[in-house]
Amino acid sequence: MADSTRKTALITGAAGFLGSHLSDRFIAEGIRVIGMDNLITGDIENIAHLMPREDFSFYHHDVSQFVHVPGNLDYILHFASPASPIDYLKMPIQTLKVGSLGTHNLLGLAKAKNARMLIASTSEVYGDPLVHPQTEDYWGNVNPIGPRGVYDEAKRFQEAMTMAYHTYHGLETRIVRIFNTYGPRMRINDGRVLPAFISQAIRGEGLTVFGDGSQTRSFCYVDDLVDGIYRLLMSDYSQPVNIGNTAEITMTDFAKEILALVGNEKAYLDQRPLPTDDPKVRQPDITLAKKILGWEPKVSREEGLRRTLPYFLEAVNKS
Ligand code: NAD
Ligand code: UDP
């Protein structure tokens, strides 16, 4: 018999990397999950283990089109969007649409269902930052017409639209600004630096370090991110919150770390041109998350990479 006290969450992008891990966490918390995805960058394999469950259902749907879901909804988590630079460069219009039209459709659904809406924003709203580390009150340095603008501006519009529904309609909203996150279920060829380096190292190829490799990123293990998002959703805080790991590293040092981790002597560093508008530095200031959510990352990069490697070994061998 259906349990009428059980909460229901709609998770868009559920077949993707983060959406599938979020679905696992919500189900583990006793929340019924409706996953929605059009599979443009996701993989149904990521949620195959959830399909037989009575507390999980899946809709194959493009959220940039009108979204209809029957019954009650308590939470909506909007994670659908191409997320890797090569994906959003290949699909610029879909990226703009899912951040704008998709967000509008889901805000409308949240209003109709009286649901709480959380959006997946990004450190990319800070662009090539002139403030380091990035605090939530920094407005960013984005080139709106550059190749990355389709993603950055879609996310900035998404934040603006979400805030407008909060202030004008009184909708309960949450905004998480996610910094580079990694873990099992990333697509090995999605072009992001970690899947690229690990699969190149496993295959004994050159690790494609873009530019002089002095640019920095700060990598967060997926379980830490999911925990931060869960806490933010359950909090009463409606302003944007950075969630990420503060351990910053240059791409050259990261490539060397991956070489040492994988231990394939055939692999080497292979310098390539730096993509346009590639941010030179990125590190989250997480003072706010610590204060209002009591959250900080627990998994070091060493431990996170150790947990992630077996997934990539299997995925590369199957490819
Ligand atoms: P992903 O590509 O693995 O997952 C995105 C999912 O969204 C895919 O399954 C894709 O098929 C689906 N999707 C895309 N457009 C859709 C549409 N119009 N309708 C329905 N489904 C659609 O990427 P991810 O890393 O899991 O990222 C998820 C979200 O988190 C994205 O919104 C991304 O911008 C955000 N984010 C991720 C990171 C990160 O480091 N992984 C950092 C910042 C922000
Ligand atoms: N990068 C790299 N080699 C690759 C892929 C990416 O050196 O094969 C660099 C990229 O130029 C950027 C950083 O790694 O400086 C992170 O890139 P990613 O695409 O993972 O995410 P971003 O943080 O730029 O969105």
Sequence-separated (6 or more) residues with CB below 8 Å from residue 145: none
Pocket mutation for ligand 1, best pick of 10, 23, 39, 41 (most atoms within 8 Å of C-beta)? 41
Q: For the residues 130-142, what does the mean pLDDT come to?
A: 98
Q: For the residues 60-69, what does the mean pLDDT come to?
A: 98
CATH code at 193-214+248-282+308-318: 3.90.25.10
Which of 31, 115, 33 has its CA nearest to residue 74? 115
Ligand 2 centroid to residue 193 C-alpha, Å: 5
Residue 102, both tokens:
């998709």
Ligand 1 centroid to residue 100 C-alpha, Å: 14
Residue 1, pLDDT score: 47
Residue 2, pLDDT score: 56
Q: pLDDT digits over 82-117, tens only?
A: 999 999 999 999 999 999 999 999 999 999 999 999
pLDDT at 285 over 70: yes
Q: For the residues 70-92, what does the mean pLDDT come to?
A: 96
Q: Where are the domains of the chain?
A: 8-181+221-246+283-298, 193-214+248-282+308-318
pLDDT at 130 over 80: yes
Q: What is the mean pLDDT of the chain?
A: 97
Ligand 1 centroid to residue 284 C-alpha, Å: 20
Q: pLDDT digits over 215-224, tens only?
A: 999 999 999 9
The one-character DSSP state at 265 is T
Residue 26, pLDDT score: 98
- Beta carbons of 63 and 120 less than 8 angstroms apart: no
CA distance to 203, 247, 256, per residue, from 263 (Å): 11, 23, 10
- Is 151 labeled as catalytic in the residue annotation? yes
Which of 76, 24, 28 has its CA nearest to residue 51? 24
Q: For the residues 32-37, what does the mean pLDDT come to?
A: 98
ipTM of the complex: 0.98
Q: For the residues 59-64, what does the mean pLDDT come to?
A: 98
Interatomic CA distance for residues 261 and 201, integer angstroms: 9
- DSSP letters, 180-227, are -EE-TT--TTS--HHHHHHHHHHHT-EEEEETTS--EEE-EEHHHHHH
Pocket mutation for ligand 2, best pick of 86, 150, 210 (most atoms within 8 Å of C-beta)? 210
Q: Does the pTM of the predicted model rise above 0.90? A: yes
Q: For the residues 62-78, what does the mean pLDDT come to?
A: 97
pLDDT at 4 over 90: no
Q: pLDDT digits over 145-199, tens only?
A: 999 999 999 999 999 999 999 999 999 999 999 999 999 999 999 999 999 999 9
Residue 58, pLDDT score: 98
SS3 58: strand
- DSSP letters, 208-219, are EEETTS--EEE-
Residue nearest (by alpha carbon) to ligand 2 atom 14? 193
Which of 251, 271, 266, 263 has its CA nearest to residue 313? 263
Residue 135, pLDDT score: 98
- Beta carbons of 29 and 52 less than 8 angstroms apart: no
Q: For the residues 294-306, what does the mean pLDDT come to?
A: 98
Q: Which CATH number fits domain 8-181+221-246+283-298: 3.40.50.1970, 3.40.50.720, 3.40.640.10, 3.30.413.10?
A: 3.40.50.720
